Amino acid sequence: MAKELSLYVHIPFCVRKCLYCDFLSFYADKSLQAQYFEALAKEIRLSAKGLKDRRVISIFFGGGTPSFPKSKDVCGLLNTITDSFNVDPGAEISIEVNPASAMKDKLADFKRAGFNRLSIGAQSLDDRELKILGRAHDSAMFYHTFESARQVGFGNINVDIMSALPGQSLDSYLDTVQRVIELKPEHISAYSLILEEGTPFYEMELDLPDEELDRRMYHETGRMLTGAGYHRYEISNYSRDGYECRHNKVYWRRGDYLGLGLGAASLLDETRWSNTRDMKVYMDCLWKDVPDEDFPGSEGIDRNTDQSRILPGLCDIRQDIEELDIKSRMEEFMFLGLRLTQGVSRQLFSLNFGRNMEEVYGDVIRKYTGLGLLEWVSCPEDTDEESSSAKDLQDTAHDGEYLRLTERGLDVSNTVMADFLLD
């Protein structure tokens, strides 16, 4: 069976910048957008040359706002991917959309092109809160997008919502949660607002909910969504059975993924890197006039070189390349895996690293199990019906035990997970 791979495609364009946003996103005119799509298509074709032996099980178009550019350009990129890579017929193919730009005809184009999962950035259904966030849409646009998505045939929809917003009361937040539940999306992501340095919000005097209210919002989210038939499978993610996001689980389980486009991050065969965040560097490297066959390294991959998966011609855009040592891999295994409510498998840890989990992390595990923040459980239920290589590997470990955060542990997850960093 071919080794699995996931693809992330970054579309950095937005109609305008939200006040809390620190994603790599900006406004660009049609001409820059067109050049970017051409360069990105070239990066896709060239990257695929060295990965013909991989089976692509998920693709995620994120941003930015992938629904902002012309749908023809975005769908063209998906075609380039399916022409260049070995995409599994059952692959999960997601696209993020913003209600301000996700018109019904665009959604229909996305569906026809092969996208089978939609992620709608609602954030709130309170127009006053949306205005404070600097979002380009209002709640009526969100409803319209959701209904249009169903009408054009999307049967797998995620809705993003945010809590701990400036001026947000518990009631107004829970009203958003309730109204989203009534729409019956297959998946809901519920994150707390985080003030990021460099954003306008970071500099502003904001009336933010205190820690206690933030925690209440988190707990009420869990209570309401669980009561409505969703299960939490990750700290901030809930789904109906069979609709866990396969792509995001690849990140948390450290499966292989390739990031394509400006600033996109990759993990492949235990090497991490990020594409440049500089548009000029990105465009200069993928210059338009050079045919693919003349591109440096286009004859394929020399698997004997240090950077065996890096095409020489793409080295200029691929930065911060780091071959992970066993220590970093163990740390990532723990703090990414603990995000999942399933937890981390003791047996899989041994299989991966040739060492017992307690031998490496005995003290920290004893400390937090003693405090009731971590617990050992047997064969936690995994409701995701679809498989991935990482999951298959997890499943082979079902007779082992899993270490996971308790309900109380979820409240202080950052503190607990930070303790899994090795000296």
Contact residues for ligand SF4, defined by CB under 6 A = 14, 17-18, 21, 23, 25, 63-65, 98, 121
| Contact of 202 with 196, CB cutoff 8 Å | yes
Give the span between the Cα atoms of 86 and 53, in whole angstroms: 8
Q: Which of 103, 95, 114 is nearest to 157 (CA)?
A: 95
Choice between 21 and 267, CB closer to ligand SF4: 21
Q: Least CB distance from residue 394 to ligand SF4, whole Å?
A: 32
By beta-carbon proximity to ligand SF4, the closer residue of 63 and 409 is: 63
By C-beta, is 19 or 228 nearer to ligand SF4?
19
- In angstroms, what is the minimal distance from the CB of 12 to ligand SF4? 8
Nearest to 91 by CA among 4, 206, 166, 184: 4
Q: Which residue has the tokens 């003349």?
A: 294
Nearest approach, Cβ of 219 to ligand SF4 (angstroms)?
25
Distance CA 212, CA 222 (A): 16
Closer to ligand SF4 by Cβ: residue 17 or 367: 17
Write down the least CB distance from residue 208 to ligand SF4, Å: 18
- Residue 300, preceding bond cis, omega within 30 degrees? no
Dihedral over Cα of 278, 12, 287, 266: its sign: positive
Of 28 and 340, CB closest to ligand SF4: 28
Residue 50 or 121 having the CB closest to ligand SF4: 121
Closest by CA position to 66, among listed 262, 199, 265: 262
Buried-state track 73-93, b at ≥16 Cβ within 10 A, e below 16: bbbbbbebbbebbebeeebbb
Nearest approach, Cβ of residue 64 and ligand SF4 (Å): 5
Cβ 8 to ligand SF4, closest distance in Å?
Answer: 14
